[in-house]
Structure 1
Amino acid sequence: MPADYLLSVDLGTSHTVAVVVWPDGRTRPLLFDGSPVMPSAVFLDPAGNIHTGKDAERLALTAPERFEPNPKQRISDRTILLGDREIPVTAAFAAILSRVARTAIEAVGHLPNAVLTCPAAWSDQRRGALHDAAAQAGYRPVKIITEPVAAAHYYTSRLSHQVASGQPLAVFDFGGGTLDIAVLERRADGSFGVLADGGLPDLGGLDFDAALVAHIGATVKQREPEIWKRLESPSGASELRNRRELWEEVRSAKEMLSRSSVAPVTVPDMAQSLHLTRGELDQISRPLLARAIAETQRVLGLTGRRPDQLAGLFLVGGSSRMPMVSKMLHEGLGIAPTVLEQPELPVSEGAALAMTAAIPVTPPSPAPSPPPQLTAPSLGLPPVTGSDQTVQLRRGDDKTPPSPPRRGTEYKARRIPPKWIAIGVTAIVLVAAVTVGIWWFANPYKQRPFAEELREVGAAQALSGEVDEGVYEVRAVGDSSVMFYTTSSSDDSGQELHVRAVDNRSGELLWDAEQVLPGAGWSNTFFVSEEIIAFSQEVEAGAEYRFVFLDWETGEVRNTVTSWARDAARSGDLLVVGPVGGDAFEVYDAAGEQVSSWGFEEGVTVEQWNLVGTPDDIANPTARANGDGRLWIVTSNGVTHVYDVESGEAVSSKEIESVEDLYYAWDGLLYVAVDKETGYELNVYDTEDLSQEQGIGIESGEVPPAQITVCGETLVCVGDLVPETTDAYHWHVYDTDAEEIAHDFDDREYGWIEPLGNRIMAEYYAGDDIRTQIYNKNFKTVNNNLEETFDPIDGGSALTWPGRSTFGTAVGNVIGLGRDGSRTDLRIDLEVYACAPTETRLACLTPAGSQIYSFRDE
């Protein structure tokens, strides 16, 4: 039985996360009910069986008295009363660890050696409880690593942040039941030692939930006192169930307020839903978080270090997701925290990294491909170098060189004078050179070199007010960029949206439209082209939306449109809003004037819709052309429609497939993936009349199609989800010209896939990491894979930059990627709110203000 797998388990107050490390160094979180995060909940049924995770939560609705959502909080009690029986806390832990063990065995075939995590302040007695529980669950003797040490290893290894020997790092672990704070020091051997630790055992996400429930309760008590009396002091199973449902509603609303300004709360037995706003959450959170900030300052003070001496402040634990946490820590300590979108995960993987740090292993990379050969197909010239890779000189001119004579054919040799050979060779070389030169200038997929480093263009233009956690977005188009950000108003009236335009050539501010339509409900949905600037605002929760159009020259509001549709898409310089009322579309120009509209008969609603893509977007991805001016729509009566956006006229309408099928339109063709028992069919229709042009069957077992996307001028990729994952695919490349599946990307678990000029750029998973690999037209790998993800910026290159964080600034590297797989490191540890590229510039919102960077000459 292999002994070189490793299982790492973080049994938290609210959730449990487990990671398996493969022998080759790959890491992958275990999935429980399709999620890497399992509730640390237990339910004891009448037969004495302990259920865990989501099963426990579902069973809790039948008998709430038999349910414990947070057994880790009860470790001091040593026992838990569940219904009419009392069980040891270690039995609850063992049940959770048994669930993890079963899932690990399903993944790797046996139960590996394991490492568990615990708070730094836990005593030997409490750590002994973990050892006992692991033994009861059938584990071999386990290692235990403290949570802050595990988080520190993740911070330096996975996030690649530098922490020098002797430099301190603060870890702020904000979970469901407790707050744990530790300041660690990097030792000379690369390990971490705890300089000081502390925390608040009575402050966690549950306390925020309790405060929000009390806030909601004040309203319910005033309107429906009897309902609140039953919720506050439940007397039976039904009332206990209602109380739990209310807490779940409030918790969901709290999480939703991390993404929007208003969240509904359904109160059991009340006919009308209530609402929580982000302002209310912030107001309720501030006094609770003030305690957290004070405790962080106290623990840091114990080390004798100042906040500015910290290498970083790393936020982990599910409650760190609240935007107010990062904001108040930034205010209180003067340093920007680092927080991930899933802050529950780093501790578990960090523990595994700590265990394997002494013998670092990395997954094997594909062998480098041989240098590509260059052919001149229009001349019928032979390859310049021997290789199985070919670069087409002109797409669509893939002529086959003349074949050699067949065996048995006789040829009469004729001697040619050497001077004529020389003249002929010279002529061929000249013709070839001219052809290649013409091709180079006309080729939309040529690779342009990057500069040696990222250079500032002009000085940073300071922002008006401090950016809050709401909206910060950038759109770069041609010679100008538009930047959006929100600030909290001084009179508590809500968020104010700021919009500014910046010259990409000089970095100068063109205009700054402050406080555009102050109010709440701003979304991250903006539409920008060389003519249009438009964005949306929620007027009434779940109902009316306002679309605001600005003047490109001045930033002034040109028009506002109120609509009963929240979705929109930009088609060139037109904005398509719909479906309005579920069955209609409205189209507006850059001035916000309606240019067309159409709807469907009463009772017919829109099920799916999108734009028809065009190959021009492959060569100019940052131009954001967005479609060929047409829209496809599938309605509830099973009819598919194609409309001209500008005129509003129907191009074609026909009943072709089911409304539940997967649709995608590209270059005049509509692709529909139809789920079948042993796979699915990919049917192809002409958008002019919706006549079927092609069709092919794809075998995928019982796995239905999940995505369709373009991956070349004539290539469309269809992806089916890898079982038990939510974002890993096997992709099938369909060649429209050949009418066949040209390649299957199914040797790995792939992420997204897209064209990089006339090559394919595919992401794939190596453990938890996502890597990037380029493939040529023959689906051969080009150069080595890379440990970053990239976005195309033109037909021959791509770029990665710090991704937009939902919790403040993000810190990351700027790296250029050529279509030949070459990598150029442009800037390390750039701190930004958000960025957007053109072919030569990177426009960013930074803490210092708006800043334009150059990564190549124009």
Structure 2
Amino acid sequence: MSTRILGIDFGTSRTVFSMTSTKARSEPEIVVIDKKPFVETIMRLDDSGSIELFGTEAWEKIDEAPERTFYEFKMGISKVGTSEQDQPATTEVAETRFTPQQLGLMFLRRAREKIEKLVFNESSLADEVIITVIGYPAEWNEKQRMTTIDMAQEAGFPNVHGCEEPLGVIYYHDYKGDLSVDHEQTILVYDFGGGTSDVVVVKTVANEKPQVLGIGGALNLGGRDFDKAIYNILLVQCGLSPQSMDPRDVVTIRRAGRTLKEKLAVAYHDGRNNVESTVYLYGTRAQKRLHLDLPTFEKCCEPLIHRFSEPVNDALNRADTAREAINLSILAGGSARMHYVRKALDELFPNDVSFQSPDPSEVVAKGLAIYGRFFQGEKVVDSLQSSTLGGSKSSTNPEFPRHVRSDNSHISSRLSSFWGQLATRGKIGICIGILSLAFLFMLAIGGSNSIKSGNLVEEIRRYAELGDAEAQFEIAERYFYGKGIQQDILEAYKWYYISSRLGYSNSEKKIRDLRKRRWLLFSSEISQDDANRIEKEADRLIQRNRW
């Protein structure tokens, strides 16, 4: 029986849900709620303490009733089990107190109801065979983790398991082929979220369980802390004093600060360094044009920018690992989009292979779903059959999971994906596929020394040079990510460009993204002059070979 798996990236600012199944071999799908691939982690309550507005609608109308609008309650959960006391929020009208756990429960319950309506045709999740995996910051203690799991369980999500958010990132990139948990390497993941910055150091060795060497975090180094710094700058622009402000203007300007921060990240990669936004101020009863440029951002956020390395050093110290020992570093999380982040990571690890998740805001949710797919496996499915009758099971999974080579489950999953995609390919693609199949087979029977990955790369290159657009895209991907070949961004761009000129849609999309400078990996390695030169050379190559 196919079991659905739901991954929940419960974020401080935004929450993302992804869905897959134990039999699926495609990438997990993001659950679209209210026409958005995410849910703003915010809600407004009415006078009776029930949810009045939820998600994006509550965020867009936060200024209408700030005293009854609640957000960033995940940060309150981070105080559970510590010396700090939870500070319950209070609605002025109803005079009802809500702890952060209660707010999180209400939020997740409403999200579950929407998922049931949108995905399951209003069928209860309790009637479905489902595994739920919810993430939490790597730095959280056991009580905070269990609070999160129990909260999701009480909200109606069945069979809830937990996973550190950065580990979900590793599982996603293992699935995508950007790395393999069966290769000997030391991986560092920097999950830069809205409320926290989490870093995990993981050691992987062939045919052994990956080992978490160290975890580091910084609770006051997330996107919300940058929003607060920008908020102070915007107050000056508005000529307002925090002591005399209308409460509606407080939340309006805070919302504008986050919006400008996100717009500036996009503008930077499009070659611009200034963004603007217009807000209505209740205190002055007038509109105000707010602006943010790169120098202003860097100045007001300078203390936070300088702290970027704190969770990295913390994780490395706990792992007793030197920076030089890191082979691969990965950036994820919504705040990783900020312009300085990629450069800061490269400066910390100048000699390793590093990359940023293509969509850093979705990678954790997808990775959690993949975690459930590969790690839970038949053991959890078996327990699920009985637990649906006798109650649900919740658990944390502190050990990092791995694909199991001994029973060939890892190989079989990749071969199923292989055959599903092979059916749509042409003659050249089938030849490449057969070579890939032979390579995987030799690995499965322990004969990895009998066939080298370089042979596969050379065969793909041969078909690329014969003019096959799909092979050209394949070789470009390998150059871009350094998969089985020395990473070379210039060479990757050449083959993406040639493949796109021959009409291959995946390459066309990649070229569009690269030209818009959405890929930090790309923008840090190649100039516009280089791109123009490569395109001219590629055009001559196409003409000379009559592709």
Shorter chain as denominator, the TM-score bin is: 0.5 to 0.7
CA distance change for structure 1 residues 337 and 290 in 2, over 3 Å: closer, same or farther? farther
What does residue 520 of structure 2 align with? 808
- SS in structure 2 at match of 1:279: helix
CA distance change for structure 1 residues 72 and 39 in 2, over 3 Å: closer, same or farther? same
Say yes or no: does 1:145 pair with 2:163: yes
What does residue 243 of structure 2 align with? 233
CA contact (8 A) 1:104 1:110 kept: no
What does residue 258 of structure 2 align with? 251
CA distance change for structure 1 residues 30 and 273 in 2, over 3 Å: closer, same or farther? same
Greater share of strand: 1
CA distance change for structure 1 residues 241 and 355 in 2, over 3 Å: closer, same or farther? same
CA distance in 1, matches of 2:472, 2:278: 53
Say yes or no: does 1:82 pair with 2:90: yes
Q: Kindly state the Cα deviation for residue 23 of structure 1 after the two structures are TM-superposed.
A: 5.0
What does residue 823 of structure 1 align with? none
For 2:243, give the aligned amino acid.
Answer: S
Q: Deviations over 1:123-161 (max 9, x none)?
A: 221122123212321222311111121111112222523
Q: Kindly state the Cα deviation for residue 187 of structure 1 after the two structures are TM-superposed.
A: 4.2
CA distance in 2, matches of 1:838, 1:218: 47
What does residue 104 of structure 2 align with? 93
CA distance change for structure 1 residues 366 and 306 in 2, over 3 Å: closer, same or farther? closer
CA distance in 2, matches of 1:32, 1:121: 29
- SS in structure 2 at match of 1:161: coil
Write the mapping of 1:579-658 to structure 2, written as runs, cut at 5 A: 622=501
CA distance change for structure 1 residues 448 and 135 in 2, over 3 Å: closer, same or farther? closer
CA distance in 1, matches of 2:425, 2:292: 60
CA distance change for structure 1 residues 135 and 856 in 2, over 3 Å: closer, same or farther? farther
Q: Kindly state the Cα deviation for residue 315 of structure 1 after the two structures are TM-superposed.
A: 1.3
Partner of residue 317 from structure 1, selected from 322, 330, 333: 333
For 1:299, give the aligned amino acid.
Answer: A
- SS in structure 1 at match of 2:15: strand
Say yes or no: does 1:365 pair with 2:406: no
What does residue 36 of structure 1 align with? 37
CA distance in 2, matches of 1:802, 1:273: 30
CA distance in 1, matches of 2:369, 2:18: 8
Q: Kindly state the Cα deviation for residue 801 of structure 1 after the two structures are TM-superposed.
A: 11
- SS in structure 2 at match of 1:323: coil
Q: Deviations over 1:266-288 (max 9, x none)?
A: 35235552422112112333331
CA distance change for structure 1 residues 857 and 371 in 2, over 3 Å: closer, same or farther? closer
Q: Deviations over 1:690-730 (max 9, x none)?
A: xxxxxxxxxxxxxxxxxxxxxxxxxxxxxxxxxxxxxxxxx
- SS in structure 2 at match of 1:809: helix
CA distance in 2, matches of 1:284, 1:331: 22
Greater share of helix: 2
What does residue 313 of structure 2 align with? 297
TM-score by length of 1: 0.44
Q: Kindly state the Cα deviation for residue 59 of structure 1 after the two structures are TM-superposed.
A: 5.0
CA distance change for structure 1 residues 299 and 370 in 2, over 3 Å: closer, same or farther? closer
What does residue 56 of structure 1 align with? 58
Q: Kindly state the Cα deviation for residue 31 of structure 1 after the two structures are TM-superposed.
A: 0.8
CA distance in 1, matches of 2:10, 2:38: 10
For 2:119, give the aligned amino acid.
Answer: A
CA distance in 1, matches of 2:328, 2:203: 11
CA distance in 1, matches of 2:422, 2:277: 55
CA contact (8 A) 1:840 1:856 kept: no
CA contact (8 A) 1:44 1:82 kept: no
- SS in structure 1 at match of 2:340: helix
- SS in structure 2 at match of 1:791: helix
CA contact (8 A) 2:356 2:521 kept: no
For 1:14, give the aligned amino acid.
Answer: S
Write the mapping of 1:446-845 to structure 2, written as runs, cut at 5 A: 448=467, 622=501, 756=503, 789-791=506-508, 803=514, 805-806=517-518, 808-810=520-522, 835=531, 841-842=537-538
CA distance in 1, matches of 2:425, 2:163: 45
What does residue 12 of structure 1 align with? 11
Q: Kindly state the Cα deviation for residue 249 of structure 1 after the two structures are TM-superposed.
A: 1.5
CA distance in 2, matches of 1:856, 1:164: 42
Q: Structure 1: which 5+ runs fail to align?
A: 222-227, 373-446, 455-471, 482-503, 505-619, 623-754, 764-788, 793-798, 812-829, 844-851
Write the mapping of 1:102-113 to structure 2, written as runs, cut at 5 A: 102-105=113-116, 106-108=118-120, 109-111=123-125, 112-113=130-131
Q: Kindly state the Cα deviation for residue 49 of structure 1 after the two structures are TM-superposed.
A: 0.9
CA contact (8 A) 2:197 2:311 kept: no
CA distance change for structure 1 residues 163 and 282 in 2, over 3 Å: closer, same or farther? farther
Q: Kindly state the Cα deviation for residue 320 of structure 1 after the two structures are TM-superposed.
A: 0.9
Say yes or no: does 1:355 pair with 2:372: yes
Q: Deviations over 1:191-217 (max 9, x none)?
A: 533211112111211111111121233
CA distance change for structure 1 residues 451 and 68 in 2, over 3 Å: closer, same or farther? closer
CA distance in 1, matches of 2:500, 2:184: 46
CA distance in 1, matches of 2:172, 2:493: 32
CA contact (8 A) 2:222 2:335 kept: yes
CA distance change for structure 1 residues 809 and 151 in 2, over 3 Å: closer, same or farther? same
Say yes or no: does 1:344 pair with 2:361: yes
Q: Kindly state the Cα deviation for residue 104 of structure 1 after the two structures are TM-superposed.
A: 3.2
CA contact (8 A) 2:7 2:19 kept: yes
CA contact (8 A) 2:235 2:253 kept: no
RMSD: 4.1
What does residue 135 of structure 1 align with? 153
CA distance in 1, matches of 2:143, 2:289: 47
Q: Kindly state the Cα deviation for residue 800 of structure 1 after the two structures are TM-superposed.
A: 8.0
CA contact (8 A) 2:500 2:507 kept: no
Q: Kindly state the Cα deviation for residue 110 of structure 1 after the two structures are TM-superposed.
A: 4.9
CA distance in 2, matches of 1:57, 1:449: 48
Q: Deviations over 1:723-742 (max 9, x none)?
A: xxxxxxxxxxxxxxxxxxxx
Q: Deviations over 1:743-792 (max 9, x none)?
A: xxxxxxxxxxxx94xxxx6x6xxxxxxxxxxxxxxxxxxxxxxxxx2339
For 1:19, give the aligned amino acid.
Answer: S
What does residue 173 of structure 1 align with? 191
CA contact (8 A) 2:316 2:322 kept: yes
Q: Structure 2: which 5+ runs fail to align?
A: 80-84, 375-402, 404-408, 428-465, 474-489
- SS in structure 1 at match of 2:187: strand
Q: Deviations over 1:23-73 (max 9, x none)?
A: 541421101221112111132211221353123324533321122221100
- SS in structure 2 at match of 1:257: helix
Say yes or no: does 1:156 pair with 2:174: yes
CA contact (8 A) 1:17 1:36 kept: yes
For 2:89, give the aligned amino acid.
Answer: L
CA distance in 1, matches of 2:199, 2:298: 22
CA distance in 1, matches of 2:12, 2:50: 21
What does residue 262 of structure 1 align with? 274
TM-score by length of 2: 0.66
Aligned sequence identity (%): 22
Q: Kindly state the Cα deviation for residue 98 of structure 1 after the two structures are TM-superposed.
A: 1.9
Q: Kindly state the Cα deviation for residue 253 of structure 1 after the two structures are TM-superposed.
A: 1.4
CA distance in 1, matches of 2:17, 2:289: 37
Larger radius of gyration: 1
What does residue 596 of structure 1 align with? none
CA distance in 2, matches of 1:46, 1:212: 32
CA contact (8 A) 2:73 2:103 kept: yes
For 1:16, give the aligned amino acid.
Answer: T
CA distance in 2, matches of 1:367, 1:337: 30
Count, aligned residues = 420
CA distance in 1, matches of 2:290, 2:511: 42
What does residue 279 of structure 1 align with? 295
Q: Kindly state the Cα deviation for residue 79 of structure 1 after the two structures are TM-superposed.
A: 5.7
